[in-house]
Structure 1
Amino acid sequence: MAPSGNFSNYACLGSEDSSNHPDLERIGESILPKLKGSPLAAITLGRMLKAIPEVSRWNSILESELWAWKQKETDILPALRLSYIYLPFYLKPCFAFCALYPKDYKFEKAKLAEIWVAEGFVEPQGGVPIQDVGCQYFEDLVAQSFFQEVNGGYVIHDLLHDMAQMVSKHDCFILRNKSDFDKVPQNVRHLYVLPSSDFDESNLPSLCKYTKLRTLICKKSLGRNACIVMGRWCTELLHMRVMSYAFTDMLPDNIGNWKNLRYLEISRPCYLKKIPSTFCWLYNMQIFYAKKCQMEMPGDFGKLISLQKFESNGLTLDSANKGGNGVRSIKNLNQIRGYLVINNLGALSKDQAAEAELKNKEYLDRLTLNMHMPRVLGYPLSHTIQNREVLEVLQPPISLKFLVLENYGGSSLPSWFQPQNLPSLESLTFVRCDGLNSINLNEILAFLSLTDLTIEWCKNISSLEDASRK
């Protein structure tokens, strides 16, 4: 379609709407030559004008001084700049922020909306979840052609990206190579570090001088000194709201300094062998993505009162922590993925165990329930009745594929242990379940997806009952 056709269609020239305002037709025809024959300019400006069918607004665009900028024959920047200027005020910072990302970056709507929320760009709207408001902002920008859908994601046209960089040149910067360290604006707020071989992690502590930083997306590996580098950042960069980095096996003890942090992401596989207790001082954190990481959860994890979304590839929890209330910290963490290990469940009452709400963790596929009771609590190693009651309220999600039951003192399995409740179960393991005297294989074989049954150190199991299917 010719640019004139694009512009006419998107601006609704010749439609019933514009016929009610004949002046719009005249103004639109006068704007058209200024687009220099560009389809992108025609679509972007046309859609923007459609959203504001007012003669005064169209006239102000036609008479804008931006058209007088000296430009090459194919330079469409004035048209795109006008499209940005006349965006609703609440969309401007959202789009300008996208200059932080490299050209051709593929955006995910929900994830970018979460970052906009963390940055404070999204205004609450009554009872609508703020993440949904952020997604609507994104849809509004799509509707005005600031994003283009490509293969399930969204991209920004190169010329629109240039325009975004122009309007945010003091706020956003991309570090591509070592020479860029001398070009970072002194008051930069949002910084993206690409994984370049031109510099190493020893250069990264120098970012501490940019004390107004609110966003740091670091795709460059922090190397063996990751904890040291992050420790420096946590000391100096106290206004951080969004932090995303590639890999670490340890978080610094002073991470609690990031009181303003709303969004934290670890993008590559790792095992966090130490999460310091100060991590639980991040009271404002809303999103924690560690999708490819395994970790041991600190006992005070439940203090992260603003946390709305948490994703990891595996989590180990000591339920006896904090007087048996450690399990409460995962009550609302329904985005846990991969595996979950809960130790010392024998220390809990039935009511405490129920707060785990395991049934709601629909992305979980591996679960270990260790019913051990620590000797330090002054109780015997197992309470048969209590064990059975506790296990009864720990029903796994229907998606579970691997279940391990350890140190169970009950003589029978819970009522939820039925094929209809665990239709995807592939592997079942019993370890030191001394209360069980026998296992009915007919019941086990009713789990049609089950391919593996393991029984270890269950000293009182004296028989495996009839294994034929009925």
Structure 2
Amino acid sequence: MWDEALKENGQCWKRFCAPFRNVQEGSMMLVTTRCPKVIEGVRTMDPVNLEGLKDDVFWNFFKLCAFGSEESNNDAELERIGRGILRKLKGSPLAAKTLGRMLSMDLQASHWNFILESQLWELRQEETDILPALRLSYMYLPFYLKQCFAFCAVYPKDYKFQKERLAEIWVAEGFVEPQGGVPIKVIGHRYFEDLVARSFFQKVGGGYVIHDLLHDMAQKVSEHDCFILRNKSDFDKVPQNVRHLYVLPSHDFDDSNLLTLCKYTKLRTLICKKNLGQKTCFAMAHWCTNLLRMRVISCAFTNKLPDNIGNWKHLRYLEISRACPSKRIPSSFCWLYNLQIIS
């Protein structure tokens, strides 16, 4: 649980618990959190503080991630350096997995020593001590993967990604570099699979998710580029030079708030999950007038496109709700000569 669950003076938590009031005697609810506020707000007994994995188990797991095997016939110098790095990971499997996968791609002692002696280990964190390890894993990504992963910070926590859809958006954003005659969409898929191999995505059911701590790290490295609008108060917190925005379907704001987004003229991505009914097209018309650098637009619950949509000359990806098929396509639609995907 995050401390957001205690907003509205705890009413969110009370609503969540309401269905569980009439349960069999002896039933229990187990809550895990890294937020002290949550502990004080929901606990009915003393909390149990979880520690990291024990040294021997942790070392075997780290070797599996870094060397691909738990055997002890690895390079002795790398094992010595690896044990030094291990002490900095606080017993966290996530830190061992992400950093171990990164180390496995360069088995040079000089590279491992550089990681061991990095100043990032000195960063102080309030909620976790493993963020430096995650930051190091990010720092050593190739640039093209850095920008693809950092972009994912615009999506909310626990968002389930689809490889096909995300790769298409990366292409539309210009993050995917052409490679000879290989279809650019295939290259986008390779980027995604590379991030999965490095443990930046985890496969869950029919999609992929980003671990909460990795999502925190992504938001940290893209704090001026990506922003999520959850409620009305967030409109005053949007970075002036924001590039990518995600609007959650809150009842706390209306179309007048969304019109204020017109001042963020460097916007390239707008994913709007807010249902404005008939006012959706009205808001989009204002965006088309002011937000002329748009590359990706996803607008739910609209059954009409604005007449001035042709202003979005740079638009490459357009997604509108399939539940609300457009009955009319404005004539200026043919001006979208950069449009690659409409869904």
Is the CA contact (8 Å cut-off) linking 2:302 and 2:321 kept in structure 1?
no
The residue aligned with 2:66 is 11
Structure 2 SS opposite 1:149: strand
How many residue pairs match? The answer is 288
Distance 1:56 1:235, change over 3 A: same
2:250 is the alignment partner of 1:196 = yes
2:148 is the alignment partner of 1:94 = yes
The residue aligned with 1:437 is none
Distance (whole Å) between structure 2 residues aligned to residue 183 and residue 7 of structure 1: 40
2:262 is the alignment partner of 1:218 = no
The residue aligned with 2:291 is 237
Identical counterparts, % of pairs: 73
Q: 2:224 aligns with which of 167, 170, 175?
A: 170
Superposed, which structure 2 residues align to 1:10-409 within 5 Å? 10-12=65-67, 19=74, 21-71=75-125, 74-289=128-343
Deviation at 1:59, TM superposition (A): 1.3
Distance (whole Å) between structure 1 residues aligned to residue 127 and residue 73 of structure 2: 30
Q: What amino acid does structure 1 have at the position aligned with 2:209?
A: V
Structure 1 SS opposite 2:325: strand
Is the CA contact (8 Å cut-off) linking 1:4 and 1:42 kept in structure 2?
no
Distance 1:17 1:250, change over 3 A: farther
Distance (whole Å) between structure 1 residues aligned to residue 195 and residue 63 of structure 2: 20
Distance (whole Å) between structure 1 residues aligned to residue 100 and residue 224 of structure 2: 29
Which of the pair has the greater relative contact order for Cα pairs under 8 Å at 6+ separation? Answer: 2
Deviation at 1:193, TM superposition (A): 0.1
Question: Could you list the per-position Cα deviations for residues 145-167 of structure 1 after superposition, in whole angstroms to 9, with x for gaps in the alignment?
Answer: 00000001000000000000000
Distance (whole Å) between structure 2 residues aligned to residue 17 and residue 54 of structure 1: 18
Is the CA contact (8 Å cut-off) linking 1:173 and 1:188 kept in structure 2?
yes
Q: What amino acid does structure 1 have at the position aligned with 2:235?
A: F
Q: What amino acid does structure 1 have at the position aligned with 2:340?
A: Q
Question: Could you list the per-position Cα deviations for residues 4-29 of structure 1 after superposition, in whole angstroms to 9, with x for gaps in the alignment?
Answer: 2221111018779983x432121111
In structure 2, runs of 5+ residues without a counterpart are 1-52
Q: What amino acid does structure 1 have at the position aligned with 2:60?
A: G
The residue aligned with 2:45 is none
Deviation at 1:225, TM superposition (A): 1.9
Q: Which has the higher Rg, Structure 1 or Structure 2?
A: 1
Q: What amino acid does structure 1 have at the position aligned with 2:230?
A: R
Deviation at 1:247, TM superposition (A): 1.7
Distance (whole Å) between structure 2 residues aligned to residue 275 and residue 51 of structure 1: 50
Distance (whole Å) between structure 1 residues aligned to residue 134 and residue 332 of structure 2: 46
Distance (whole Å) between structure 1 residues aligned to residue 237 and residue 129 of structure 2: 26
Q: What amino acid does structure 1 have at the position aligned with 2:331?
A: S
Question: Could you list the per-position Cα deviations for residues 287-337 of structure 1 after superposition, in whole angstroms to 9, with x for gaps in the alignment?
Answer: 000xxxxxxxxxxxxxxxxxxxxxxxxxxxxxxxxxxxxxxxxxxxxxxxx
Distance (whole Å) between structure 1 residues aligned to residue 112 and residue 329 of structure 2: 56
Question: Greater share of strand residues, 1 or 2?
Answer: 1
The residue aligned with 1:433 is none
In structure 1, runs of 5+ residues without a counterpart are 290-470
Question: Greater share of helix residues, 1 or 2?
Answer: 2
- Aligned-residue RMSD, C-alpha: 1.8
Distance (whole Å) between structure 2 residues aligned to residue 258 and residue 18 of structure 1: 59
Q: Which 10-residue stretch deviates more, 253-262 or 52-61?
A: 52-61
Distance (whole Å) between structure 1 residues aligned to residue 194 and residue 68 of structure 2: 21
Structure 2 SS opposite 1:173: strand
Question: Could you list the per-position Cα deviations for residues 234-271 of structure 1 after superposition, in whole angstroms to 9, with x for gaps in the alignment?
Answer: 00000000000102222111100101001000124113
Q: What amino acid does structure 2 have at the position aligned with 1:227?
A: C
